[in-house]
Amino acid sequence: GQNIDQPTEMTATEGAIVQINCTYQTSGFNGLFWYQQHAGEAPTFLSYNVLDGLEEKGRFSSFLSRSKGYSYLLLKELQMKDSASYLCAVLYRNSGYALNFGKGTSLLVTP
């Protein structure tokens, strides 16, 4: 919904840095979340951005540019356990509390 776009798949090497991009429609924007989802499991919350800039949390950081309708999730010092799907989800004012998810980016971390 709301044209939330993410790359379908990415591959990166253990110990490296990877950036997962997300673009969305800017009209009515009210916040952006990143979730991690391992196969067959529930999405788990990673980060939240509502103002422009970078939010850092350990190995994970998330960036937002509201004017460009753009966010990225940065994962540093990749570990094998980071292999998962990463979901970008946007709140819009006209859809209340319903999260609008992208299709997710499947990240494979290789040795």
Partner 1 sequence: DTGVSQDPRHKITKRGQNVTFRCDPISEHNRLYWYRQTLGQGPEFLTYFQNEAQLEKSRLLSDRFSAERPKGSFSTLEIQRTEQGDSAMYLCASSSPRDRSNQETQYFGPGTRLLVL
List residues binding partner 1 (CB under 8 A): 1, 4, 31, 33, 35, 40-45, 48, 50, 87, 89, 95-104
Identify which of residues 69 and 104 has a Cβ nearer to partner 1 in the complex: 104
What is the smallest separation between the CB atom of 15 and partner 1, expressed in angstroms? 28
Alpha carbons 57 and 50: distance in angstroms, whole number: 16
What is the smallest separation between the CB atom of 74 and partner 1, expressed in angstroms? 20
Identify which of residues 4 and 78 has a Cβ nearer to partner 1 in the complex: 4
Identify which of residues 40 and 111 has a Cβ nearer to partner 1 in the complex: 40
Query: What is the DSSP annotation of 87-104?
Result: EEEEEEGGGTT-EEE---
With the CA atoms of 46, 52, 56 and 60 taken in that order, what torsion angle do they form, in degrees rounded to the nearest 10? 50
Beta bridge partners of 36: 44, 86
Alpha carbons 55 and 12: distance in angstroms, whole number: 22
What is the smallest separation between the CB atom of 57 and partner 1, expressed in angstroms? 11
